[in-house]
Amino acid sequence: MIPAAFEYYRPKDMAGVIALLQEHGDDARVVAGGHSLIPMMKLRMAEVPHLIDLQGIDGLGGITIKDGAVRIGAMTTQHEIITSQALADAAPIMKEAALQIADPQVRYMGTVGGNVANGDPGNDMPGLMQCLDAQFHLTGPDGDRAVAARDFYEAAYMTERADDEVLTAVTFATPVGGHAYEKQKRKIGDYATAAAAVQISKAGGKVATASIAMTNLSDTPIWSQAAGAALLGTDCGEAANKAAVAAMLDDIDPTEDNRGPVAFKRHAAGIVLGRAIARAWSRA
């Protein structure tokens, strides 16, 4: 389990990071917590001749909640998400999801930026960010830009981010209503067989808004516009729940792997989403 040799850099500012990314192109990668990248390098599934550590860059951490918006710096760890009371108050779905990622040691190291930039369909944060309609903030040689989480994922490990761009933060409007993050996994520390992120708001006893995304059921996260629409204006009862699940099942495209055959994954997806909708509604 020894990765190929690499040159290691720990630049002190973002300009230094971007200069290295430009100089080495495809041969360079940034490392945040390393808990997706290092296992891949150990297996030699990723070869990174030039490894650029982001730990020395100021301003990439921190959680800010202001004027109805949440900003989470890219280097914020899952552990910090769990222990931020302000974030738990503003967007409790973040904590509920982070507690279901990996195990304590991994959560001390794994960052939001790494989780969303990685592009692994098994990562939990991308679907969650799509549910929250988050923006990803990127900086590169040509300046800064923002990309919607719902437009970011192209295929497994393929994202909108250019090789010489760094993700600096994710932002989203403070969610309203009830939330749920529900995940089916084989054991603690396993990626999802199926996971659902749901936010529902209520007005006059009916569903006013609904946003639903699922994880590890396609080569990208799936935000299903149709699933949310199936709940709108309903009492979120059994019929509406079933309609939303059916809409989502039309949008996912799971493949068979060691977590089970396609039919099982579709079954698990339906159960997980049904529970998530019911829980989010009960909190709306």
Partner 1 sequence: MSNKMHVKLNVNGEDHEFLAEPRELLIYALREKLNLTGPHVGCETSHCGACTVTMNGKSVKSCTVFVAQADGAEITTIEGLGSPGALHVLQEAFKEHHGLQCGFCTPGMITRAAKLLEENPNPTEAEVRFGIAGNICRCTGYQNIVKSILAAATELNAAKEAAQ
Ligand X SMILES: Cc1cc2nc3c(=O)[nH]c(=O)nc-3n(C[C@H](O)[C@H](O)[C@H](O)COP(=O)(O)OP(=O)(O)OC[C@H]3O[C@@H](n4cnc5c(N)ncnc54)[C@H](O)[C@@H]3O)c2cc1C
The residues binding partner 1 (CB under 8 A) are 1-8, 10, 31, 34-35, 38-39, 41-42, 49, 51, 53, 55, 79, 102-106, 108-109, 188-189
Among 18, 20, 36, 180, binds ligand X (CB under 6 A): 36
- Among 20, 21, 32, 149, the residue binding ligand X under the rule CB under 6 A is 32
51 binds, among ligand X, partner 1, none (CB under 5 to 8 A by kind): partner 1
If binding is defined by CB under 6 A, does position 33 make contact with ligand X? yes
Whether residue 131 contacts residue 223, with contact meaning beta carbons closer than 8 Å, is answered with yes
Encoded tokens for 161:
């981010």
In a 3-state reduction of DSSP, which class is residue 186?
A: coil
111 binds ligand X (CB under 6 A): yes
Binding at 55: pick from ligand X, partner 1, none (beta carbon under 5-8 Å per type): partner 1
51 vs 280, beta carbon nearer partner 1: 51
CA 231, chain centre distance (Å): 23
Question: What is the closest distance, in whole angstroms, from the C-beta atom of residue 89 to ligand X in the complex?
Answer: 23
Question: Would you tell me which residues interact with ligand X (CB under 6 A)?
Answer: 29-37, 39, 54, 74, 101-102, 106, 109-111, 113-115, 117-118, 123-125, 166-167, 189, 191
